[in-house]
Chains A and B, each alone.
Chain A
Amino acid sequence: MSLEDKLKKWRKLEAEAREIRRREADWEFIKKQPARIRAALKYYIEVGDIRGAARMALMELEDFRELLRKANVPTIV
């Protein structure tokens, strides 16, 4: 499989995961969060980049993972 084909496959998987995160997220919970946390959660839902989102939230990785559970955002890998 060429690099382009592999990237296409990953893009499709990313899109599917993003749809599930969007659908299952507890948006009421997310809306109640402070701006920085809200932005980080939205970034995670859209991109799935947990380290980037944790940095944005100024949180440790494991604490951010716990926040995702509270916000009902699944990690899909």
Chain B
Amino acid sequence: MEYAIADTCFLIDWALWKRRDVIFDLFKVVFTPELVLREVRSERTLEWITDMLTRGSLALFTETPDILDIARSLVERSRMIPGLRGVDLPEAVCLAAGKLRGYLVLTENRGALMAVDLLEELRDVKVWRALEVIAEALRRDIIKTSNPRVIFKEYEDETHHRFPRRDLEVILDELGR
């Protein structure tokens, strides 16, 4: 996929990783909704975003009425299924862009992942976490290493994010290293 759209939870963790720029070797442009940008506060993350906006690798995504209509509906629908974690508007905008524009959605929000799994109207939306982004960078040799486990560990250490062990092992197995 050439285009992705990132939510706040993804960006604020991803921006902490020293290899964060590899994402721009995977996608032509990564969009970030204006709603998401408003949630970013730290100087470190804002500096990175500003730098990437200047280079054109990152682009602002303006929420159009069609996207907002779907997003608001998703917020409501996500709260109608007991057990499904509610999705908030910034993540819902990303999911709506995934549905309407075909962008790959980058998220670390479990509600967004659950929504794609559970809501029929989102069945065609593709969602990646940092886990899948790093795996793809390794598959394409954008990150070169003989030991992928070290790369995932590095991300965990630098962001204090934890990959689910089972998912990580499946990916390491598939990478065959």
Contacts and interface: CB of A to CB of B under 8 A. Distances in A.
Interface residues of B, number: 29
B164 A13 contact: yes
Interface of A: 3, 6-7, 10-11, 13-14, 16-17, 20, 48-51, 60-63, 65-66, 68-69, 72, 74-77
Interface centre among B39, B83, B118 (most CB of A within 10 A): B83
A49 B85 contact: yes
Contact of B41 (A13, A49, A60, A72): A60
Nearest to A72: B160
B110 A60 contact: no
A66 to B, nearest CB: 7
Main secondary structure of the interface of A (DSSP, over half): helix
B122 to A, nearest CB: 13
Residue among A13, A51, A60, A68 having the largest count of chain B Cβ atoms under 10 Å: A51
Contacts of A7: 81, 83-84, 118
Nearest to A4: B83
Interface of B: 8-9, 12-13, 39-42, 45, 81, 83-85, 88, 107-111, 113-114, 117-118, 129, 160-164
Contacts of A10: 83-84, 114, 117-118
A77 B163 CA distance: 6
A11 B83 CA distance: 8
Contacts of A62: 8, 12, 39-42, 45
Given A61-B8, A77-B109, A6 B118 contact: yes
12 contacts: A7-B83, A7-B84, A7-B118, A10-B114, A11-B83, A51-B88, A62-B39, A65-B12, A66-B42, A75-B160, A76-B163, A77-B109
